[in-house]
Structures are given as C-alpha cells and as structure tokens.
Copies of this chain bind each other. A is one copy, B any other.
Amino acid sequence: MITVLKNGATAEQRDKLIKWFEQQGLKVNVSVGEFQTVLGLVGDTTQIDDELVGSLEIVETIKRISEPYKRVNRKFHPDDSVIDVNGVKIGGGNFAIIAGPCSVESKEQIIEVARGVQAGGASMLRGGAFKPRTSPYDFQGMKAEGIELLEEAKADTGMPLVSEIMNANHLHLFENIDVVQIGARNMQNFELLKAVGKTDKTVLLKRGLANTLKELLMSAEYIMAEGNENVILCERGIRTFETYTRNTLDLSAVPALKELTHLPVVIDPSHATGIARMVEPMAMAAAAAGADGLMIEVHNNPAAALCDGKQSLTPEQFARVAEKVRRIREAMI
C-alpha cells in the first residue's frame, strides 16, 4: 500500500501518521521526494480502511498494491476451487449447466421443465420462489409453496436445486435447496451476505448491475469471512447505455475473475441479454471465454401460457444450446 502525502504536510503530521500505521502492525518505508513524500506500507494491510486514510487532510492519494481481499484471492489459493453441490462438481475443469424457469408456477411446470433440462444436458435445476421485483404490484413468486414444488422436482429427477433468497429469516425454508442465490440487487446487502456466510450452503453470488469486479469479490469475501467457502460467482450483465439488450454481458469478467480469484465463475446469458435468440451465441462465447458454467432460463411453454417468454428457451432449444456449448468446449482442449 502506497500513501502519497501532500506537499504541505508537516513533519509532525507525517510522523503522527507513520506512528499510527506502525501501531496497526505495518512497516513503513518513507521516501522523501522534492515535491512529495511517499509512504510504502509493508505487512497485512487488509485491515486498513482505504477511505479513512484517503480522507486524511495530509494525504494526497493512496494506492493499494495488494488487494483488500484475502480468502477469495487467487494469490493465497493458487488452485481453482472445485465446489461439490450434492455430487455435481463445478470449477477446476468441471463445467456445469444450471437451467430452469424464472419462476416456479406449478407442479406440472417445474417437473416437466426439470425433466426436459436434465435430458438436454443440465446438471442443476433453477427456479425462483421468491422474486425481487422493481414494483410492489408485480408477481412476487410462489414463496414457500414454490420451494416445496422445487423439492418435488428434485425428488423426481435427483437434480440439485438453485433458488434465490432475499431475506435471511427465510433460511429455514431453504434447507433442501442446494445452492442459495444472492441476486444482483442484493450483492451489497451485507447483512444477507453475513447470514449465508454463517451456513455451509453453496452460495451463488450475482454481480450487481453497476458493480465492479473488485466489489463483487469484496462481497464474496463477506461470505467467506464468516466461514463459508462454497461460493460461486455469476456475471449476469451490467447496466450500460445500450438499450437493445436488457443489460450488457461482460464476458471479459471471466478471464479477469480467473486471474483474481480461485472461485468458479458462471455466466447467465438469459438475464444479461433478455432475448432468447441471443442466449445461444452468448452461451457459446461464455464457454469459449473459459467460464465454469452457465445459468440458462428454460420454460416448458404449456398451452395455457400466453406465449413464449422473451428470454426463455424451450427444453428443445436448450438441448441444442447445450450441445453447441459442448462442441465449443471440446475444441478448446
């Protein structure tokens, strides 16, 4: 960590700051230049509060050389983490596809979709029971009943379940859910992160719509700092000025996260683009970029439904995407 002092800093102010750093257990290298003084801090700077130090009157700027996260950091954990979700492995060369409907709607729907995606190549089933919606008047999910229907689909197919949690007080309902998902809007809901960090459930953490990769990693660190090491990261599109797609899928997040962390990285092309016909090219691109898995929205489109969802695939379309992704992955070896 480098701290550059302002020109006007007095020797007394400087010494006070150096002493304070030393009290935090750091070694301080002082380099006095003609125009500025640079303090190089050596030791465990994780506990140092960037904002606090940066806000000091005498500090021109601070710059971290080492990252403020530890447990998620690849530097201290060079090998890929492999996460075992009830027998399904992800990370370290293990590729997994999570598929299913945006919302659980009925027993028939979820069982039919579950069987369909399993046949098409998915290894985990997703389904929303608690839905975060911008409007209080929009459908908020089937809640506890939706969880029960997911459990029936798991009993039927044996697939591990992925479902979003929005409230730590609901954790008891998620006992049979194998992976709890933290949605993009809750990425910095630190209280929820701490709560799932106290469990041993696998957490699928989605990147917020306007968050940096570093912020995503700091949120994963919140979970791991509580003792839970089973974290999967998910890029699901960020907010940009483009309006043709719902969000903009940031595929460079895949190689970037692979450098920064040992955690598995999953791509959600359905939410990122919001357009069913763009799921196939983006799923293939994600695989080519080195992702550890995909999360794809699939709906069974029964006659009762008005029409296809804009971003959902049918099980048949899903099977074709999964096959193309498989071919891309073979070409990469």
Q: Mark A31-70, 1 if CB is under 8 A from B, else 0.
A: 1011110101010001101011011111011010110110
CB under 8 Å from chain B, chain A span 281-320: 281-282, 284-290, 306-311
Asked if A65 meets B57 with Cβ closer than 8 Å, knowing A190-B133, A212-B244, A281-B288, the reply is no
Q: Please state if B31 and A38 are interface contacts (CB–CB under 8 Å).
A: yes
**Closest-CB distance, A284 to chain B (whole angstroms):** 4
Asked if A40 meets B51 with Cβ closer than 8 Å, knowing A20-B306, A137-B68, A250-B240, the reply is no
- Of A76-84, A85-93, A215-223, the segment with at least 4 beta carbons within 8 Å of chain B is A215-223
Q: Please state if B278 and A56 are interface contacts (CB–CB under 8 Å).
A: no
Q: Please state if A210 and B239 are interface contacts (CB–CB under 8 Å).
A: yes
Q: Mark A158-193, 1 if CB is under 8 A from B, else 0.
A: 000000001111000000000000000110111110
A218 contacts which chain B residues (CB < 8 A)? 134-136
One of B33, B277, B308 near A42 (C-beta < 8 A): B33
Interface size on A, residues (CB 8 A): 108
Q: Please state if A134 and B285 are interface contacts (CB–CB under 8 Å).
A: no
One of B241, B307, B324 near A56 (C-beta < 8 A): B307
State in angstroms the CA–CA spacing of A135 and B193 once bound together: 12
A310 contacts which chain B residues (CB < 8 A)? 54-57
Q: Please state if A248 and B245 are interface contacts (CB–CB under 8 Å).
A: no
A124 at the interface (CB under 8 A from B): no
A130 and chain B: residue at smallest CB distance: B191
Q: Please state if B308 and A57 are interface contacts (CB–CB under 8 Å).
A: yes
State in angstroms the CA–CA spacing of A221 and B138 once bound together: 12
- Of A114-122, A149-157, A252-260, the segment with at least 4 beta carbons within 8 Å of chain B is A252-260
CB under 8 Å from chain B, chain A span 221-279: 221-222, 225, 238-245, 248-256, 259-260, 272-273, 277-278
A214 at the interface (CB under 8 A from B): yes
Q: Please state if A285 and B214 are interface contacts (CB–CB under 8 Å).
A: no
Q: Please state if B251 and A51 are interface contacts (CB–CB under 8 Å).
A: no
A142 at the interface (CB under 8 A from B): no
Q: Please state if B238 and A240 are interface contacts (CB–CB under 8 Å).
A: yes
**Closest-CB distance, A85 to chain B (whole angstroms):** 24
A94 at the interface (CB under 8 A from B): no
**Closest-CB distance, A279 to chain B (whole angstroms):** 10
Q: Please state if B34 and A42 are interface contacts (CB–CB under 8 Å).
A: yes
Q: Please state if A65 and B36 are interface contacts (CB–CB under 8 Å).
A: yes
Identify the 10 closest CB pairs spanning chains A and B, nearest first. Answer: A210-B210, A55-B310, A331-B331, A31-B31, A288-B288, A57-B307, A285-B289, A185-B188, A285-B285, A284-B288
Q: A135-B221, A212-B242 are in contact. List 16 more A-B contacts (CB 8 A).
A: A29-B33, A34-B42, A56-B307, A56-B308, A61-B63, A68-B135, A134-B218, A167-B191, A186-B189, A189-B189, A213-B242, A213-B244, A251-B282, A255-B282, A328-B328, A330-B331
Partner-B contacts on A (CB < 8 A): 2, 4, 13, 16-17, 20, 27, 29, 31, 33-36, 38, 40, 42, 46-47, 49, 51-52, 54-58, 60-61, 63, 65-66, 68-69, 132-139, 166-169, 185-186, 188-192, 194, 209-215, 218, 221-222, 225, 238-245, 248-256, 259-260, 272-273, 277-278, 281-282, 284-290, 306-311, 324, 327-328, 330-332
